[in-house]
Amino acid sequence: MSSQVERLPEWVTPLRAPNAGPMTLDGTNSWVLRAPGAPDAVVIDPGPDDAGHLASLAEHRPLSAILVTHGHHDHVEGTETLSRMLGGVPILAADPKHGDPLPPRIRLAGLDIEVVATPGHTADSVCFVVEDAIFTGDTVLGRGTAVVAWPDGDLGAYLDSLAALRAYPMLMLPGHGPVRADCAELARTYLAHRHERLEQVRAAMAAGADTPEAIVDAVYPGVDPGVRFAAEWSARAQLDFLRRESQPASEELDPL
């Protein structure tokens, strides 16, 4: 497993939101980016609409933009409030519901930022590559594994995104959990885990489990009741993936 990292590049400042919980671990990681000497900063994922947290982010004004990794509320709930606090700072996101369009590359806060589409956890998930680091949102976490949030999330797309992230052997700054030394290594670990889990689901289906609830009972027997809904999201995504995988190509085509 990729090691934890305590010392961060001088151009990034972490601020953790006070929203710890079963789905958010220690809380949502917000990131403030500013190259040495740059007049402005940029924020990735302001997190929840928490007055104290947003005030801490606003202390890094002026901001040139707010960037969004994906549209889950624990990442975007505070974006519009923070924007208003700072006089209408633009919000940039892959989903137009959450901001203006993200260009593939953008220069902000004295830094070149590459946007990498990584759908799967959600349809709009992206990562940001900056210098020799990558901000992964919820696509890869610093601890534990991410949920494929069906129906917006898609397991096939998620597997493809994890495969693509194997090409980024660099510092990983996630949306939740600690910073890790090597995104590529974690992506490989995630892929192996997902394929192992799919084998378990196949075995459960062969034994007669054919609903998300039955899959969770068979494959996630010790799941905390408080996060069972998330396990059922993943089970629905797994069933959907396996059923599509087993469908003959001719059946996937629209009839003439």
What is the tens place of the pLDDT at every residue in 33-66?
Answer: 999 999 999 999 999 999 999 999 999 999 999 9
Contact 129, 111 (CB under 8 A): no
Contact 5, 180 (CB under 8 A): yes
183-225 per-position pLDDT tens digit: 999 999 999 999 999 999 999 999 999 999 999 999 999 899 9
- Enumerate the β-bridge partners of residue 116: 127
Strands (E), the chain: 12-16, 29-33, 41-44, 63-67, 91-92, 105-108, 111-117, 126-130, 133-137, 171-174
- Enumerate the β-bridge partners of residue 105: 114
Predicted confidence at residue 5, as pLDDT, reads 81
254 has a pLDDT exceeding 80: no
Question: CA dihedral in degrees (197, 201, 204, 209; nearest 10)?
Answer: 140
Contact 141, 176 (CB under 8 A): yes
252 has a pLDDT exceeding 60: no
Predicted confidence at residue 250, as pLDDT, reads 44
Predicted confidence at residue 245, as pLDDT, reads 85
Q: Backbone phi, then psi, for 123, in 5-degree steps? A: -65, -25
